[in-house]
Chains A and B, each alone.
Chain A
Amino acid sequence: MKLTAGLLGCAVLASALAGCGSPTPSEPGTVVIRVQGMPPATDKPGLDGFKKTVADFEQQNPGIKVQGSTSVFDPLTFSAKLAGGKVEEVIKVPLTEPQGLIARKQVRPLTKELSGWAHYKEFNPQVLLPLSDPAGDVYGVPQAPFAQGLVYNRDLFTKAGLDPDKPPKTWDEVRTAAKTISDKTGKAGFVHQSKNNQGGWQLTMLAYTHGGEIEREEGGEYVAAFNADPVKKALTMLKEMRWTDDSMGDAQLNDQNDVIKRFAAGEIGMYMGTPGTYRLAKMTYGMEDTDAFGIGPLPQAGGNASLTGGDVYLVPKSVSPDKAAAAVKWLLFAYAQPQYDPATAASRAKELAADPKSAVGVPTLPMFDAAQQSKIDEAVLPYVNVKLEHFRPWLDGTPALTLRPEPPVQAQQVYAVLDTVVQAVLTNKDASVDDLLAKAETDVNTKLAAARQ
C-alpha cells in the first residue's frame, strides 16, 4: 500500500514536471508566438483593442497564432526565462535597455525581415538609431518614440505666478522657476532622479543639453568623456539648486516611479521626462487633475540636444527563424502600420477613447516622416482626450533639437557610476564636483577597459 502510494506520488510529480515544459498545443503547421505588450485587464479599452488587433492579424496571417502576455521586460525574469528557454518571442523593453541587450547578443537582428516591408525605408532614422548596432543592423520596432522634455505642473506654475504656457527653455530659467515654485508653494521646484541607474541616465540628458557627452571614441576605443566643462556646469547647477536655492525638495533618492508618483500627487514642479509619462501619471498613479500636466522641450544650455525615450519591441536571439519572421510580421502589423496608415490609427484611437480612463492622443515623435505624422494626427484628432495644447510647447520645441541616443558602450554600468555622482551632489553639501567626476572617470574607464577584454 505504502509502495503504491509512493509510486503514485512519483507519477503525479513526473507528470507535473513534464507539464511545466510542454508548449500549448497548436494545429500542425501553425506558428505560435507569445508577445509581450498586452494591456492588463484593468485597462479594458486597451485590452479590447489588443484582442481585436490579434484577431485581425490572425485573420490576415492564417498560419500564425498570437498569444498575448501582460508581462513586460524585467531583467530578473528575462534572465530566468532565457536560461529556461521560456522567454516570449516578442519582448517589450524601455529604451534604456536595447543597447545592453544588443551588446550581450541576447536579441536578434531583424533588418532582413523588416526590410521586406514596403515602407521600411521610410522609418524615421532617429527612432531606429537607438535600436541599431554600430554595423547598422536594426533589432526592433518602437511603440511610441519620444524625445525627453521638461514635464511641469501647470497648477503649481500658476500658483507661483509663472506662465503655464511658457515653460522654461534654458536651464537658467529652470533654476529661477524652481526657486519661485519652491518659495511660493513649498513644493519641490525641480526633481532629478538619482537611483537604480536613473541618476546617470538623467545626467546624460543634462550633459547633452549642456553640449557635453558621456563617452567618446578615441583610437577605436570608447572612453569616458564626461569629466569636462559641460557636465561640471550641469552638476554645479544641480548642487546650487539643491543647497543654495533649496528648490529640489528634501527626499533625493528617487527613481522614475518615485518622481512620477510624487508629481501625480502635486508635490513636484518640474522633472525631465517624456510625454509618455502622462500615461503613467494618469493610469498608474491616479493623477486626478491631469489638466495640470504640461510638457515643454528639454531646456538647453548650449547643447541644443535631447535624448530619445519610450518603449520598443525586440525579439530574443533564442527565437527560431520561423517564429522570428512571424514576430516581425506581428510587430509591423500591431505597431508600425498604425503609425503609418491613418485609417488604422483612427480605428485604434476610437476603440481606446471609449474609456475615459484611457489616454488617447499623447503626442509622439514621428515614427516615419513629418508629413505622414500629420496625416495620422489628423485622423486621430476626433478621439483625442488629452489636452493637446498642454503638449504644444514640446511639439513645437523638440524638432529644433538634435536627438541623441544613449552612450554606445556599457551604458547601464556607466549610469551606475554616475548615479553615485548625482547622489553625492544631492545629498552631500560639501561634495566636490571636480573630485567626483575625476573618480567616476577612472571607474568608468576601468569598466570600459574590462568590457573590451
Chain B
Amino acid sequence: MSAGTRTAPLPAGPAAGATPGLGRDAPRRSLFGRNALTALVFLIPALVVFGVFSWWPIVRGLLISFQQTNLIDPATWVGLENFRALFADPLLGTAIANTLLFVGLALLIGFPAPLVLAVVLSTVRRSAGVYRFLVYLPVVVPPVVAILLWKWFYDPGHGLFNGLLGLVGLGPYLWLDSPDTAMVSLVLQSTWAGMGGAVLIYLAAIVGVPSELYEAAQMDGASIWTRVWHITLPQLRPVIGLLLLMQLINTMQVFTEPYVFTGGGPENATLTVLLLIFRYAFQDGAYGQAAALSFLLAIILGLLSAVYLRATRSWSAA
C-alpha cells in the first residue's frame, strides 16, 4: 500500500481461521431456531443500511448502464447503446492507458518505498516513535489539502521543488504543466500521502519475524543486505502480497489527484478512468455512459478483489 492507498486491513493472524462458533466443533444450530431469529433481527438494520445505501445503488447503476435518463423523466431502455458510445469515444483508450500508467508508476515508485522505509525504520533504536509519527503524518492530512500544498511545491515558477533543485543547478521543470511529467508528479504526491499506513503495517510484520533467524544469520557472517533479502523479505511475503493487491485495486480508482491537481490535463495526460466517468456523469449529463464505464471498471476490480480474497484466505491459512 502506498500510492493512492490510504487504508488497508491488517493481515489476518493465524487465529483467523479459528473464529469461535464457526469451526468444525461449533454446535449445529437450526436456521429457524430462536437463536437464528435473534441473529436475524440484529442483522436487519445492517441489511437495510447495506441494501439502501450500497446494494440498491449498485443494481440501479447497472440498470442505468442500459438506459438513457435525465433522472427526471422515465428512463428509456437503449440496450447496449451506452457501451457502443463508450467504445466509440477516443478518450476511453487514453483514460485506460493513463490509469495503467498510474498503476505501473505507483508500483515502481510507490510500492517499494514504504517497504524500504519500514526496513530502515526497524533498525532505528532511538526516537523510533518520532520517526514513525513523521512518516504517518501525511496520512492524517486531508487529501485535498495535501494536494493543494503540493500544487505549490510543483509550481513551475515559484514552487518549492524548482527552488530547491535550482540551488544545485537543476531545472526549472514544468512538473504538472508538462504532459511528460504530470503523471509522475501525481504518483510522487500520492506515494507521499499514502505511504504511512503501509510503513506501519510492514513495521508490525517485521517485528513479528523471529529474532533467532537474524541472530543465526549474524553468527554466519551475513551482511545487512543478505539478512534483508534472505530473511526479512521472505518472512514478509504474505503482507507484501496483500498490500500489492490492495494497491492495485486502489490505484485503478485514482481520482482525487488528477481531479484536483490537473483536471485531467495537460492534453489529457492525466485523464483516468474514474475522472472520465465523472466527466460523463457530471459534466456531460451522460449518466448511462458513466454507468456503463463504472460497470466495466467494477468487473475488473471485482476480479482483482476475488484474487485478493483468495490470496487472503490462502496466506491466512499458511
Contact = CB atoms under 8 A, between A and B. Distances in A.
B285 A100 contact: yes
Contact of A250 (B70, B71, B85, B157): B157
A100 B90 CA distance: 22
B52 interface: yes
A6 interface: yes
A78 to B, nearest CB: 8
Interface in A242-256: 249-253, 255
Contacts of A196: 263
Contact of A3 (B38, B45, B72): B38
B73 interface: yes
A392 interface: no
Interface string A1-23: 01101110110011001000000
Contact of B41 (A10, A252, A255, A410): A10
Contact of A6 (B44, B155, B261, B282): B44
Interface in B40-91: 41-42, 44-45, 48-49, 52, 70-73, 85, 88, 90
Contacts of B44: 6, 9-10
B174 interface: yes
B177 A253 contact: yes
A316 interface: yes
A411 to B, nearest CB: 11
Interface stretch (B114-122, B213-221, B264-272): B264-272
B283 interface: yes
Given A17-B48, A424-B267, A443-B90, A3 B177 contact: no
B251 interface: no
B265 A194 contact: yes
Given A255-B263, A427-B266, A428-B179, A104 B70 contact: yes
Interface string A410-425: 1011001001100110
B102 interface: no
Contact of A253 (B172, B176, B283): B176
B190 interface: no
Interface string B191-204: 00000000000000
Contact residue range for chain B? 35 or more
B149 to A, nearest CB: 15
A234 to B, nearest CB: 18
A421 to B, nearest CB: 9
B287 interface: yes
Interface string B18-57: 0000000000000000000110011011001100100000
Contacts of B283: 75, 197, 412-413, 416
B233 interface: no
Nearest to B278: A76
A423 B285 contact: no
B156 to A, nearest CB: 4
The 3 A-B pairs with the shortest beta carbon distances in the complex, nearest first, are A250-B157, A195-B263, A6-B41
20 contacts: A6-B38, A10-B41, A82-B72, A106-B72, A194-B266, A195-B264, A197-B283, A250-B155, A250-B158, A251-B156, A317-B72, A412-B284, A416-B284, A420-B265, A424-B267, A426-B177, A427-B178, A427-B179, A428-B178, A428-B179
Interface of B: 37-38, 41-42, 44-45, 48-49, 52, 70-73, 85, 88, 90, 155-158, 172, 174, 176-179, 261-268, 279, 281-285, 287
Given A5-B42, A82-B70, 7 more contacts: A2-B38, A7-B41, A10-B45, A104-B285, A253-B176, A253-B263, A427-B267
